[in-house]
Structure 1
Amino acid sequence: MRSSLTRRACAAALLLASTLSPAVATAAARPADPAQPTARAAHARLLGEKTVPYKLDFQGTTVGGLSGIDRDPCTGEYVFISDDRGYTQPARFYTAKLDVDAGGVHAVDFTGTHSFRRPDGSPYPSPALDDGNAVDPEEIRVDPVACDYWWGQEGDRPKTAGPPVIQPSIRFASPSSGAYLGELPLPGNYAITADRGPRRNQAIEALTFEARGRVLTSAIEGPLLQDGPEPTTEHGALVRVTKQRRDGSVLGQFAYPLEKIFAVNDPNSPWGPDTGVPSILAFPDDPDRYLVLERTWVAGAGYKVRLFEATTRGATDVKDLDSLATDGEAVKPMRKKLVADFHDLGLSTVDNTEGMTWGPYLGRGERALILVSDDNFAEDAVTQLVALGIR
């Protein structure tokens, strides 16, 4: 059981710290300096991995679809979001204690679960109801100021006429009950319209706070309709990354270069390739520097998961550009460097990795990075916790 007094005290301390440290927000809002050198690229090594049993029953729910993870600084526990839209149980999150150190992931012990709640207190309905109020949860972050849960859901662009459009959103929830606490205004180009905005299943999947909680960065999973075609084996694509203040005002929007598809899709498969940015994570000491996760699935070839380091420093602010395809000839995208290809780490399997967060400090300049894969509630997939050492 969480102590509300402890949480309030922790939140007050964090708020005081952020008040005493305005330089972070100023740094995030300042114009990029192309002449500033890039920091030394991060290096990753595998610490270990742990698998959660398939369809684990926990407090009457089915653990699965874990597409986001973050650490709660007020409790020391971790929170996971399930991307179950209500087909198994209502949209929900889990809390857990993780035993992670330089030797790997030793234990994953779930401690609680709650459904996310609508403003009227009811759980979100299944999309089968077609009432326009369903959600598609994808990412969760703990607010460093108040320790509330901010979660992103990518809405729905229906494949056919008839079902309602569900707009993507970033909402706030109580960690003790899942109660609705509010919503962040999003940039206008994040909205789904007939011929503009995010593609189906390619809206908000990635969120991250900078260390003091003054700035929230979000990334669209794939290119907006107006920003050009999806990646192919011949070319990549540009996806939008947005920095916002807590009131929703946009500090800047930048173009992140998504890799091209790594293999040819099986022509006999009914499914085409799927690629995008499922998670982004700010470095604690640099509000312009991020780890970016790219996850690709190709029929007949499986998954390719890569971790990149990227920076908005020196990149063009594209928030006022209507289209990166027609107006973006002079756009300078975010610079990025490969940190790890998961096929090179020695993992037992490379699966649908979608979430990541910082773990404990390991000493000598190294910190754990913890990642989780979404099993899509499928028996041939896996819920895999991976710990990397990042230096």
Structure 2
Amino acid sequence: MKASLIRRACAAALVLATTMAPAVAAEPDDTAERPDLGAQARLLGEKIVPHKLPFRDTTVGGLSGIDRDPCTGEYVLISDDRSYLQPARFYTARISVDNAGVHAVDFTGTHPFLQPDGSVYPGASAGDGKAVDPEELRVDPRSCRYWWAQEGDRPKSADAPVIQPSIQFATRTGAHRGQLPLPPNYEITLGDRGLRRNKAVEAITFDARGSVLTSAVEGPLLQDGPEPDLERGALVRVTQQNRRGDVLGQFAYPLEKIFTKPDPTSPWPPDTGVPAILAFPDDPDRYLVLERTWVAGAGFKIRIYDTTTRGATEIRHLDSLAGQNVTPMRKQLVADFHDLGLSTVDNTEGMTWGPTLPNGERTLLLVSDDNFAEDEVTQIVALGVR
């Protein structure tokens, strides 16, 4: 989801009215006594990539997802350029990180994503309904091929095409090899139900064996209740599927309320959601969840939570969460970027596990999406997690 574009869009077009509210407030649980949650993180270092870095006839930017390739040790980063600057694409890079920090980010390759007919994706301005909005990429633990998510587009007007979200799989050079069937409630429908605009499928992750692909929608479905405000959070859906697309489980993740009041002179409403989810390698029901919030006058707040589906209500058969007594996923704060001593806190959207450090900590790498905007940055952040 493109935060800077939202800031420039009409507020009325972005806020989809609904009066329904979930029965369960999205407040963090007290998990201090729970042995299955409690990851802790410390800052290892950061690196800022030059703005609009030219690389092999492309413009590096809009990096909204990152994953480590176990076959090469390199990283794969997806750009959310909707084929405006260059065709929708991904990059590979060597990122040198250790206990002393992030030492270098060196891009090594780039390829466009290809449609089933072998052509590149058109720009959204083509208006033919074939454009994509790439947001997340994961390397298949079994084959080292790429699975990538794009959140489609809920049109602003009735005469514009609907672009459905999708999770596709591709070769390591971007050639289309198939698509994962998504659950019915991951569909964009016109009216007062379904996925919100710019709040669709933006987060996916594999378990360590590649048997389960978990996805999260960025914001609550229209029928599940309103988006977070200063008083209450919201519930967003997290879905576990096998490689054929069969739904194994669906759960409600409690998204935090808006952290502060916006600048009253700004026409832009707060924006918040889940841009990334990451499975723990040794626990198929446990995830890190990234929450990214922007508030006019206050900027970005980036928080990482340790969370689990254990004990949460199975909600796949609930058409609406509004008024339902559901138990959401438990969560515990791992890191608030404002507490880490970073040079800046920006539009962080992607995260992946990196190598294990000699002291036993796992490295966690995160990347920010600069939206190709002059007032944002492409930032690689490395944390040590235990």
TM (norm. structure 2) is 0.90
Q: Which of 84, 99, 102 pairs up with 2:99?
A: 102
Tell me which of the two structures has the higher relative contact order, counting C-alpha pairs closer than 8 angstroms and 6 or more residues apart.
2
Aligned AA (2:213): L
Aligned AA (1:335): R
Q: Residue 189 of structure 1 corresponds to which residue in structure 2?
A: 185
* Residue 344, structure 1, aligned to residue 347, structure 2: no
Instruction: Tell me: CA distance 1:109–1:133, structure 2 relative to 1, closer, same or farther (3 Å).
Output: same
Q: Residue 6 of structure 2 corresponds to which residue in structure 1?
A: none
**In the aligned structure 1, how far is the partner of 2:258 from the partner of 2:34?**
30
Q: Residue 162 of structure 1 corresponds to which residue in structure 2?
A: 159
* Residue 255, structure 1, aligned to residue 247, structure 2: no
- Aligned residue for 1:131, secondary structure, equals coil
Aligned AA (1:180): H
Shift of 1:38: 3.9
Aligned AA (2:183): P
User: RMSD of the alignment, in Å?
Assistant: 1.0
Shift of 1:264: 1.1
- Aligned residue for 2:357, secondary structure, equals strand
**1:231-261, CA deviations, whole angstroms, 9 ceiling, x for partnerless residues?**
0011000000000000000000000000000
Q: Which of 207, 211, 220 pairs up with 2:208?
A: 211
**In the aligned structure 1, how far is the partner of 2:42 from the partner of 2:285?**
23
* Residue 354, structure 1, aligned to residue 349, structure 2: yes
**1:307-365, CA deviations, whole angstroms, 9 ceiling, x for partnerless residues?**
00000011011000010013x22x10000000011000000000000000000100333
**1:21-43, CA deviations, whole angstroms, 9 ceiling, x for partnerless residues?**
xxxxxxxxxxxxxxx95424000
Aligned AA (2:298): A
**In the aligned structure 2, how far is the partner of 1:47 from the partner of 1:287?**
26
**In the aligned structure 1, how far is the partner of 2:344 from the partner of 2:319?**
41
Q: Residue 55 of structure 1 corresponds to which residue in structure 2?
A: 52
1:348-387 to structure 2, matched below 5 A, reads: 348-387=343-382
Q: Residue 25 of structure 1 corresponds to which residue in structure 2?
A: none
- Aligned residue for 2:223, secondary structure, equals helix
**In the aligned structure 1, how far is the partner of 2:221 from the partner of 2:37?**
31
Aligned AA (2:357): L
1:235-274 to structure 2, matched below 5 A, reads: 235-274=232-271
- Aligned residue for 1:89, secondary structure, equals coil
- Aligned residue for 2:122, secondary structure, equals coil
1:41-52 to structure 2, matched below 5 A, reads: 41-52=38-49
Q: Residue 200 of structure 1 corresponds to which residue in structure 2?
A: 197
- Aligned residue for 1:363, secondary structure, equals coil
Q: Residue 142 of structure 1 corresponds to which residue in structure 2?
A: 139
Shift of 1:197: 1.3
How many residue pairs get aligned? The number is: 353
**In the aligned structure 2, how far is the partner of 1:59 from the partner of 1:221?**
32
Q: Which runs of 4+ in 1 moved over 6 A?
A: none
**In the aligned structure 2, how far is the partner of 1:335 from the partner of 1:365?**
25
* Residue 225, structure 1, aligned to residue 222, structure 2: yes
**In the aligned structure 2, how far is the partner of 1:179 from the partner of 1:356?**
24
Shift of 1:230: 0.3
TM (norm. structure 1) is 0.89
Aligned AA (2:351): M
Q: Residue 19 of structure 1 corresponds to which residue in structure 2?
A: none
Q: Which of 274, 277, 287 pairs up with 2:274?
A: 277
Shift of 1:268: 2.2
**In the aligned structure 2, how far is the partner of 1:133 from the partner of 1:325?**
33
